[in-house]
Amino acid sequence: MAKLLWAKIHARKEEKVIINGFRYPEELTFFKENSTEFVLIGVDCPLPVRYERVRRRNTKESKAMTLDQFKAYERAATELNIPILLNSADYIVINDSDLNTLYRRIDAILVDVINVNNYIGVNPCLK
């Protein structure tokens, strides 16, 4: 998967690219080995907050989901490596507040990473 994504990125010839959804250490290793400028920004959220957000989605499944079911989902193969990836992150964002706060936190990191004062950011409406 990482190799396919890498090919797509290079085909677009973009200077800066944001990728989300890393789930496996092999993906991270591939990007770190193939880019001297790769930066991993981990986004984490406390389990109780994640659970409440799922419950608020108001779908039949989410309303019926118990905390124990949610914890079982957290043990799925795609979720098991997230702590390893977070430990490898260059930056960590805690997503425990509202969306605007998340955007501001990510924007602050992106400005630091890119080192440009006029960076528009994840959500230009906040500027």
Model confidence pLDDT, tens digit, residues 40-97: 999 999 999 999 999 999 898 888 999 999 999 999 998 999 999 999 999 999 999 9
* Whether residues 89 and 117 fall in one domain: no
* Whether residues 60 and 43 fall in one domain: yes
Q: The pTM is what?
A: 0.80
* Whether residues 61 and 90 fall in one domain: yes
Asked if 73 contacts 79 with a C-beta cutoff of 8 angstroms, the reply is yes
Q: Rounded to 5, what percent of the chain is helix, strand, coil?
A: 55, 5, 40
* Whether residues 87 and 105 fall in one domain: no
Question: How far is Cα 111 from Cα 118, in angstroms, rounded to an integer?
Answer: 8
* Whether residues 33 and 64 fall in one domain: yes
* Whether residues 114 and 64 fall in one domain: no
Into how many domains does the chain fold? 2
**Enclosing domain of residue 30:** 2-96
pLDDT at 32 over 70: yes
CB contact set of 126 (below 8 Å; sequence gap of 6+):
100, 103, 104, 107
